[in-house]
Structure 1
C-alpha cells in the first residue's frame, strides 16, 4: 500500500451486516474507516468521495443496469469492493467491467473479506475464495454469452416472450419444438431469478434486449 494509509467507506443497507464490515476494516492493517452509511446518497451527504478511496458497497436490490451505474459512479473516485448474493444479474464480470476491483459475497468470512480488501487497497483485483470457481466459469464461457448469463438462443427466446408471443409461436419462429422453447424459458427464469412474463419483460428492458415501450404483439 506504498506506506500510505488507505481510507475505506462502507455502504450497506443492513445495520448488522454494516457493523460486521466495520469490524473487518477496523481490524485490517493499513486502512482507516472514513464513513459507514446505508446508501450512496448518504455517503455523498456525509463527506465528499476522496481520491483513491476504497468503497465497500453491498449492492442494494435494484435492477441490473442501476446496479452497474452505482458501481461505475463509485469507481470514479476509487476502487469499489462489491458485495452481493450474486443470485441475480449483474454477473461478476459485469461488475468488473463497470469498475469493481473487489468481489465478495454476503456470506464471505472475516478472513476472505480482509484478504480481498487488502488486495484492492494495494491496487489489485480481488475475488474472494467463495467466488473463485464462479468467476473462472464466467471468464471461460463463450464470448457470445451476455452479462446476464444468457446464451444467444436464450436471449432470442427472452425477446420473443417479452414481445408477447406464446411458446408455440416462438417455436415456429425459431424453428424449434415447443418443448425446447419451454426448456429455454425455464433456464431464463432460473438465471434471471424471475417467475412470470411481466418480470421477464422488465428484465429484458433492463438488459437492453427490448426497448422501453416497444410494442407487444397480440397473441395470434
Structure 2
C-alpha cells in the first residue's frame, strides 16, 4: 500500500485531506501542521499532500526530500504554478478542485506521474507560454529537482529511485547541473542550491535505497 503524509496548518483542512487520501487507497502515515514537523519524523512517503502557506516555495522543496509533493494553494498570488513545479511539486490543485480530481491526482502522483487540476490547466499553460519565473541559470525542472536531492544528501542511486529514473539519467542531470552552475563538486552544488533557494540549508540525510 502506498503511504501519504498530510501537511496543513489548518485542523479542518488536515482532516479533509486525510480523508481524501484514505479514500484514494493510501495509508496516511503522518498528519502534521508544517513541513518542519514532517521532516522531524525521519520518514519517507510515496506522496506528501501539502497545503501551501502564502509565500515562497521553500516548503515544497523541503517536502520533496521525503516524498512526492501534491500541493494545494490559492494560485492567485505568489508562488505561481510553474514556480511550484520547479520547486518540486509533482501535482497541483486548489480548494475549488473536485474531490474526484484530487483522488485522481493522488493516484497519479504515487505512481510517479505528474498532475495539474483541470481547473488550473489554462493558467499553467499561460505561465509556460510567458516563461513565468524562469530559472536564471537555465536549469530545467528535473535538473532543479535533482539539485535539491543532491544538496539534501541523497546518492545518485537514491535520487533515481525517488524520481523514477535510471541512475544513468540522474548522472547525466548531475553533469549538466555542474556545467550550468560552473561548479565541480557536491559541496559547491549544495552551496549553489542554497543560494538559488532550492535548499534552505545543507542537510546530511541517511536514506536507505528503496
Normalising by structure 1, what TM-score?
A: 0.57
| 2:106 corresponds to 1:111 | no
Bigger Rg, which one: 1
Paired residue secondary structure (2:20): helix
**What is the RMSD of the two structures over their aligned residues, measured on CA atoms?**
1.9
- Picking from 44, 48, 57, the partner of 2:42 is 48
Q: Deviations over 1:89-147 (max 9, x none)?
A: 11101111111101010221211110111111110110111111111111222x3x536
- Picking from 72, 75, 80, the partner of 1:86 is 75
Query: What's 2:11 paired with?
Result: 15
Equivalent-residue separation in structure 1 for 2:75 and 2:39 (angstroms): 25
Equivalent-residue separation in structure 2 for 1:7 and 1:146 (angstroms): 32
Equivalent-residue separation in structure 2 for 1:90 and 1:140 (angstroms): 17
Runs in 1 of length 4+ with deviation above 4 angstroms? none
With over 3 angstroms needed to count, the CA separation of the structure-2 counterparts of 1:42 and 1:77, relative to structure 1, is: closer
| 2:50 corresponds to 1:57 | yes
- Picking from 59, 84, 87, the partner of 1:98 is 87
Contact residue 8 and residue 51 of structure 2 kept, 8 A: yes
The Cα of 1:17 is off from its aligned counterpart by 1.4
Query: What's 1:171 paired with?
Result: none
Contact residue 35 and residue 62 of structure 2 kept, 8 A: no
The Cα of 1:35 is off from its aligned counterpart by 0.7
Aligned length: 136
Contact residue 82 and residue 133 of structure 2 kept, 8 A: no
Normalising by structure 2, what TM-score?
A: 0.60
